[in-house]
A and B are shown apart, each in its own frame.
Chain A
Amino acid sequence: MEHATPGVTALELLLTGAILFSIFLARGGREFFLRKIAAFAVIDDAIGRAVEMGRPILFSFGLSGLGITFFQALAIMSYVVRRAAEYGVRVVVPLFAPDVYPLTEEVYKEAHRSAGRLEEYNPSDVFFLSNDQFAYASGVVGIMHRERTATHFFLGDFAAESLILAEEGHSVGAVQIAGTPSTLQLPFFVAACDYTLIGEEYYAASAYISREPIIVGSIKGQDIGKMALLILSLTGVIAVTIGGELGSIFQHIFK
């Protein structure tokens, strides 16, 4: 689809309008309910485990480059690093993409500053490892074994290395929390990790962690959009089942 048809334009206006309206409400002070997601509820417990064991935490963005997936994971990393810094636990962050290095380092440092533990900040805990997929995987596996990491976070874009990382992480006995928008890799994380963020849960992450009105409002707006799509789909199913002119309208609504 190269150009928007009237149906597509109306739908996009509805979806973006719902998101903007919800952000507007959230900024005005309206508080929205957010349902509990298991993987978020245990982040603090997973950090606590590393504290008790006196071992570092591993945080991997996978193959993420500069993009939406990376920024979502960066928000979670910031939270994890801040909480870990409060208890004096190291967070090791090996990177795949060189272009995300300066941003990650900056956020990592800022997290230590906001925890009031800037003296614990160690620049060598954030480092570029490799931008060859399997070389990166072998490097991360080596780190898991040598550092004897207690907790692993795999959040970002992952491909064929997902199972290698999750399986090796499991073999070293670490608690693992994973999330990726890549549907093909989710089954491996579900199988080998303790908690997995499935699909859209990954994008809801920053709202849970930051409680920023703009992000929470955006999640609310997306929910309104999903409900609108749900109603549209069900109406479409009923219309094409009945058939006739109404069915024909729905079959060509976006054409």
Chain B
Amino acid sequence: MLEVVVTWLAAIATLGIYSILYKENPFYRFFEHLFIGLGLGWTIFAVWKDILHPKWWTPMVVEGRWYWIFAMIIGSLYYFIFSPRFAWMARLVISTMMGLTAGLVFKSFAAIYIPQIEASFRAVRFSPSLAGGLNNLLSTLILLSVLIYFLFTISQERQPLSTLSKLGRWFIMLGLGAMFGSTVMARLSLFIDRLTFLLHDWLKIIRF
């Protein structure tokens, strides 16, 4: 019985959200706010269950590592942003987070981009494979033109930069088009999942 009620509720909620395709209406508005409220409630629960309880509460209270209390004290400083007089305390936390982020980005730069630079050293030889040589030539041309497109402080009105920059833009668009196609397939699978739920689980029109 409970399963039937849950299926009906889920189906009505799905239709409620899809009703925006017709126009904004009270039915959509109700489920929009319900969705937002449920999302927030779920997040609070998940933060406690997945982060605070196992990584902070348990070490501090159950395992007796009392010094974890400092995590709460330092974290709570963030709330001083609402006090003009003590906002500097919040800035300590914010600037620490910014510094941490900058450091991590700097560290990840080498790990992400250096292998790409190394991988760009491709031999343009047409034997033994003509296709392999052409592929490497094309790869080098794309790298050259796209990098030129992303130069911001150099005028690209003169040749050959103008042509190479335009070529780079075309290559980017071709790449984005390919990505668009593959990602749309993934989005369609999400839609098919919802349709399957409505037609199979709820209305039982289709059977597998």
Contact = CB atoms under 8 A, between A and B. Distances in A.
Q: Which of B39, B143, B177, B180 counts the most chain A CB atoms within 10 A?
A: B39
B3 to A, nearest CB: 23
Interface stretch (B55-63, B65-73, B94-102, B198-206): B94-102
Nearest to B139: A237
Contacts of B151: 35, 223, 226-227
A145 B152 CA distance: 37
Given A134-B35, A142-B29, A198-B172, A253 B183 contact: no
Interface in B100-124: 101-102, 105, 109-111, 114-115, 117-118, 120-124
Query: A interface, how many residues as a size bin?
Result: 35 or more
A254 B114 contact: yes
A61 interface: no
A234 B28 contact: no
Interface residues of B, number: 60
B152 A187 contact: no
Interface in B181-208: 183, 187, 190
A141 B23 CA distance: 11
Interface string B11-50: 0000001001001100011011001101110110000000
Interface in B106-156: 109-111, 114-115, 117-118, 120-125, 136, 140, 143-144, 147-148, 150-156
Contact of A219 (B105, B153, B187): B153
A198 B156 CA distance: 17
5 contacts: A8-B110, A66-B101, A146-B29, A187-B179, A236-B121
Interface of B: 17, 20, 23-24, 28-29, 31-32, 35-36, 38-40, 42-43, 78, 81-82, 90, 94, 97-98, 101-102, 105, 109-111, 114-115, 117-118, 120-125, 136, 140, 143-144, 147-148, 150-156, 172-173, 176-177, 179-180, 183, 187, 190
Closest 5 A/B residue pairs (Cβ): A132-B39, A135-B39, A145-B24, A236-B121, A187-B180
